[in-house]
Structure 1
């Protein structure tokens, strides 16, 4: 139930963006850059990171939508649930496990990050740009999770799939085009 009384009780994030388009335009442009721009990670891998961080934060709204989006980009179904249950034994690409471990630690205990954490990412074959991009996705979704939870936003049944597929097909730039539609 949304805490914004001027919006419907079952408000979606898109409706919040439509109600407050000024900040939303900048936020969606940043999403487009971080999640769809040039990166060592594929869009699916970045959506995987987003969904993983959201799962760690117990943000069902973001976790659900970005799991659907990651899967639409080719991440195998069930990967996120397995990674959240036990990253070490999960059927996750070996190169991505240290990245997910890194963003997991950054999400849970940011002040405890060490050189060894970064070195594990580098040892898996990623470069500094990849570490930078993983940190940006992690930071963005820690922000988004707090925004969603702080505003009381929940996804109605079916919305997760609709939103995830929309993000896969139109990206965040496409979502920004919907800001002028009625809330």
Structure 2
């Protein structure tokens, strides 16, 4: 049960953003920029970073919805999304993306956990400053989004089919109008 009243029993972060539309609009605009704005990372790679960080944080709503969005954005590739969350070391992703996901995992643990070696590992595989910047910012933002959802005990449905629909909608329409 949510810790605050949620309008219309909307699930996850959408319900929380609807309780305070002014900040909700800013949060949805931030998600739109991070996950769909200009970046050397593809939409699918950015959704995968969001899903991975959310998984590490144990935030079921965000993990499920961004896993589905990543899969839809990556052409329906649910097995790769699941592999990344369950065993990054053997997941079928490029070495560059694996290094970026490791970097995101370091950010999830603590920004101070990121080392020069982590950055160099990503650079040696072709990541430029903008790619590294975007990876770190997405990871940091999803720590905030995850804590918002969990800290207010947002409505978290159980039905996997619902998350697939949410992911399909996010992949197609984005985040700009989530707050209503």
Using structure 1 for the length normalisation, give the TM-score.
Answer: 0.89
1:60 counterpart = 2:64: no
Q: What does residue 17 of structure 2 align with?
A: 17
Per-residue Cα deviation, 1:68-98 (whole angstroms, up to 9, x for no partner)? 0001111621223222322111112222000
Distance 1:21 1:10 in 2: 13
Of stretches 17-26 and 103-112 in structure 1, the one that deviates more from structure 2 is: 103-112
Whole-Å separation in 2 of the counterparts to 1:80 and 1:102: 17
SS of the equivalent of 1:173 reads coil
Contact 2:53-2:143 at 8 Å conserved across structures: yes
Q: CA deviation at 1:4?
A: 1.0
Residue matched to 2:87: 86
Alignment partners' CA distance in 2, 1:6 and 1:135: 31
Instruction: Check whether the contact 1:35–1:43 (CA below 8 A) recurs between aligned residues.
Output: yes
Q: Which residue of 2 aligns with 1:111?
A: 112
Q: Distance in 2 between matches of 1:170 and 1:53?
A: 22
Q: For residues 18-57 of structure 1, what are the structure 2 equivalents within 5 Å?
A: 18-57=18-57
1:6 CA displacement: 5.5
2:135 equivalent in structure 1: 134
Contact 1:10 1:156 in 2 (8 A): no
Unpaired segments of 5 or more residues in structure 2? Answer: none
**What RMSD, in angstroms, separates the aligned Cα atoms of the two structures?**
1.8
Q: Conserved in 2, the CA contact under 8 Å of 1:2 and 1:152? A: yes
User: What residue in structure 2 maps to residue 155 of structure 1?
Assistant: 157
Unaligned 5+ residue runs, structure 1? none
Post-superposition CA distance 1:81-126 (Å, at most 9, x none): 2223221111122220000011111112432221111001101101
Counterpart-to-counterpart distance in 2, 1:9 and 1:170:
22
Distance 2:35 2:139 in 1: 11
1:168 corresponds to which residue?
171
Q: In 2, Cα distance between the equivalents of 1:161 and 1:88?
A: 26
Q: Counterparts of 1:26 and 1:81 in 2: how far apart (Å)? A: 30
Give distance in 2, aligned partners of 1:64 and 1:54: 9
* Cα deviation, residue 11, structure 1: 4.1
Figure out how many residues of one structure are paired with residues of the other and give that number: 177
